[in-house]
Structure 1
Amino acid sequence: MNLARQEAFCAALHGAGSLAGTPEPRLDIHRNNRMASLAAALAIGFPATLSIVGEEYFHAMAREFIQASPPREPVLLAYGDGLPDFIAAFPPAADIPYLADVARIEAAVTRAYHAQDLLPLGADELQWLNGEGALDVRLRLHAAVFVLRSPFPAATLWEHNLAADWVPVEDWRAEDVVVCRPQMDVLVRVLPPGAADFLQALMDGHSLGDAAARVESDDFDLPAALAFAFAQGLARPGVDTGPGAGEADVFGGAI
């Protein structure tokens, strides 16, 4: 099959016209198989989202997403990154306002799982915390760190909808969430007050002192936030000190 024929076939699969020499019923079979395969891949990547809305709703929503955003690459590892934003703008999901944030956590879980392997900072490498100028240090974060600020209990909803025995969420307060993979397993953790602002500032290249100063929460505890970061393996070896140090070595992202 030459390139022009391949492009015409792809366009026909997307529903853009027909393909000369190919009966429409046969094209429909290919279209249905393609749609079913992509919807199944999305279901694997977004199990809690599926659990919240049910299989029929999820697959109908997935079909709309696939039509609007077909895969652009042959590898489907990152396919679905756009699903949370699609859900946020999807009119039928307007009465499930937390659904997009749960999907954002699941997209981050996939990205964290496939992120670069990096060892977290060990306890023997934390001596600089007691040294002069510690607040001028720019801490490098692990490549698999992603931060989400949600007005909903997004992490709790994610966890409950993956549990074998589902229980309703009773405490509907906002949650700041970090997704990370310090070793082999991906972790989803609710952050203490102010830690999301702090981590985001570190990702933006600010020193520990400047990052702490950017936190808006009155309940922020810098030692506690650092202890949390090290306990969860959010930091990686190789801290930098001095003006401009480490600006190109800050990892992680917002979701």
Structure 2
Amino acid sequence: MSNQADFAAALIDIRLPCPEGLCSANGADPASRFAVYRNNVQSSLIDALADSYPVVGQLVDEEFFRAMAGIFVQSNPPRSALMSNYGEGFAQFINEFEPASSVPYLADVARLERLRTVAYHAADAAPLSQSEIAARFADPLLLNDLCIGLHPSLHLLDSAFAVVDVWAAHQKEATLAGIDLSSPQTALVLRNGLEVEVFALDHAAGQLIQNLSLGQPLMQALESVEAFDLSQTLALLITHNAITHLHHKVSP
């Protein structure tokens, strides 16, 4: 019988022949049985992508999505037993898939949906209470070196398109009418309890959060950011349980 690598490769790549050495207990043609098995495997992987990228599937018709996903599957075998990990590179594939070029924001919607999956499966972390945070923010003299720890599920996506508005429209079965698709948006993805939430941010607010996630103290994080509503951004993080710890940066 062929080795395991050959068998696995033939399951994914329909261009490869049935592996040599296969046999069937009931005397059926091994090639025919293998073809059925391969079809089931590929259909399962396409179904997994459809489950992970529902809005992408809604933005194109089902036939197009399954054809596109089928091409992706043939060169991207699963690398983990966890199917939630499958499809990590799907957004980049879409970005380079010429037939999808008529929907220029499709790849970024896929990136947003991937971040939602990542956020859902991220580690747990207990948020600080609003009273704890308020007490630490009460003394302005302590803000210069105050570092803000953020929830492990928090991710940002800078898009040249109105990616959050497109995604949100499909949560309400609304149309894209009235959405300026070419308006850039920064998406904030965060798991609050068991619910993954998505928000649209100003670019400057997103840059601040990015700086904080890199460990920069609050005042330093603000230095490279254009003017924006800091209190509104902090309120968003606090009310949606995104702040998990506060500490002061230790000087070298």
TM-score of the pair, normalised by structure 1: 0.87
Work out which of the two has the higher radius of gyration on C-alpha atoms and give 1 or 2.
Answer: 2
As a proportion of its length, which structure holds more strand? 2
Question: After alignment, is 35-44 or 23-32 more displaced?
Answer: 23-32
Displacement, 1:197?
0.4
Could you tell me which of 113, 126, 138 is aligned with 1:119? 126
Displacement, 1:66?
0.9
Change (3 A) 1:41 1:221: same
Structure 2 match to 1:141: 150
Could you tell me which of 78, 90, 93 is aligned with 2:100? 93
Structure 2 match to 1:251: none
Structure 1 match to 2:210: 200
Unaligned runs of 5+ in 2: 23-29
Q: CA RMSD in A?
A: 1.9
Distance 1:169 1:31 in 2: 44
Say yes or no: does 1:211 pair with 2:209: no
Displacement, 1:101?
0.8
SS in structure 1 of the partner of residue 243 of structure 2? coil
AA of the residue aligned to 1:135 = N
Q: List per-residue Cα deviations over 1:5-59 (Å, max 9, x = no partner).
A: 4333212213344312333222211111111000001101111000001111111
AA of the residue aligned to 2:21 = G
Displacement, 1:157?
0.5
Distance 1:119 1:146 in 2: 17
Displacement, 1:107?
0.5
Q: List per-residue Cα deviations over 1:65-91 (Å, max 9, x = no partner).
A: 111211111221111121111111111
Distance 1:193 1:18 in 2: 52
Q: List per-residue Cα deviations over 1:114-154 (Å, max 9, x = no partner).
A: 11112222111111112222131111110110101111110
Identity of aligned residues (%): 33
Aligned residues: 240
Structure 1 match to 2:27: none
Alignment of 1:1-255 (within 5 A): 5-15=3-13, 16-22=16-22, 23-126=30-133, 127-131=135-139, 132-172=141-181, 173-215=183-225, 217-218=226-227, 220-236=228-244, 238-243=245-250
Question: After alignment, is 96-105 or 114-123 more displaced?
Answer: 114-123
Displacement, 1:232?
2.3
Distance 1:74 1:224 in 2: 41
Conserved in 1, the CA contact under 8 Å of 2:156 and 2:188?
A: yes
Distance 2:31 2:178 in 1: 48
TM-score of the pair, normalised by structure 2: 0.88
AA of the residue aligned to 1:102 = V
SS in structure 2 of the partner of residue 140 of structure 1? strand
Displacement, 1:161?
2.1
AA of the residue aligned to 1:161 = H
Change (3 A) 1:107 1:244: farther
SS in structure 1 of the partner of residue 195 of structure 2? coil
AA of the residue aligned to 1:114 = H
SS in structure 1 of the partner of residue 56 of structure 2? helix
SS in structure 2 of the partner of residue 139 of structure 1? strand
SS in structure 1 of the partner of residue 123 of structure 2? coil
Conserved in 1, the CA contact under 8 Å of 2:155 and 2:188?
A: yes
Unaligned runs of 5+ in 1: 246-255
AA of the residue aligned to 1:235 = I
If asked which structure has higher relative contact order (CA below 8 Å, sep 6+), I would say 1
